[in-house]
Structure 1
Amino acid sequence: MAQINIDVNGRPYAVGCEDGQEHHLQELAKIFDHQVRQVSQDMGQLGDTRLFLMGALLLADELLDAKNRLAALQVEVGRLQADRARLETKAVSALEGAAIKIEKLAAAG
């Protein structure tokens, strides 16, 4: 298990992570640090616990919004796939009908 130091709101924290996940954890820490700093600017200096709680709640809110948008997009993709399948069926039927007419014309001619 690897251990790295991350900075949140100007303070260092030692954090453990799986080997190879150090860069990913650093990126997550940057996102969290940015959120905490924004909360600190907006609300003034709170205690670390309240500051971290507010930052985490705001990030959780963003995550929930993203999940809701993803769910709506998945519904839309499902609808579009169903529409495409319906149109493909119509196109196949139209082509089969045209082929039958062409065969009849060729046989008559």
Structure 2
Amino acid sequence: MACDEGQEEHLVRLARDVDARIAQLRTAFGEIGDQRLTVMAAVTIADELSEARARIRALESDLDGQRDARASALARIEASEEVVARTIDEAAERLEKLAREIAPPAPRAIGMG
């Protein structure tokens, strides 16, 4: 089988995995023919791949939900920060107004001459 340069080891590992599957099936079912064992190995590998893809889809969906929840939480935090900042500004304005109201009047300069 041809493969890209540098992929030889990966291809060898895959072939070993398939051989191991066939050996497991041969142990479980006996000598039922290489073609049947190879097809059974292919079907079990395809089943695992299907389950893995379903799990990936579920994890991606969960991740999307987490991203949405995070974005929503950040929006709520930002809105809360704006409310707090506005409240602080309003309180500062009221304090300044009160300070002006209770401060003694500034002494008036008396002109000489």
TM superposition score category, shorter chain reference: 0.7 to 0.9
Deviations 1:5-64 (A, max 9, x none): xxxxxxxxxx33333211010111121111111111111122111111000100000000
**Structure whose CA Rg is larger:** 2
Name the structure with the higher strand share. 1
Distance 2:79 2:25 in 1: 60
CA displacement at 1:96 relative to structure 2: 0.5
Q: 2:11 aligns with which of 25, 29, 33?
A: 25
- Percent identical among aligned pairs is 33
TM-score for both structures, normalised by structure 2: 0.79
The number of aligned residues is 95
Distance 2:53 2:38 in 1: 22
TM-score for both structures, normalised by structure 1: 0.81
Provide structure 2 residue ranges, at least 5 long, that are not aligned to the other structure.
Answer: 96-113
Name the structure with the higher helix share. 2
Q: Which runs of 4+ in 1 moved over 6 A?
A: none
Higher relative contact order (CA 8 A, sep 6+): 1
CA RMSD in angstroms comes to 1.1
Report what 2:54 is aligned to.
68
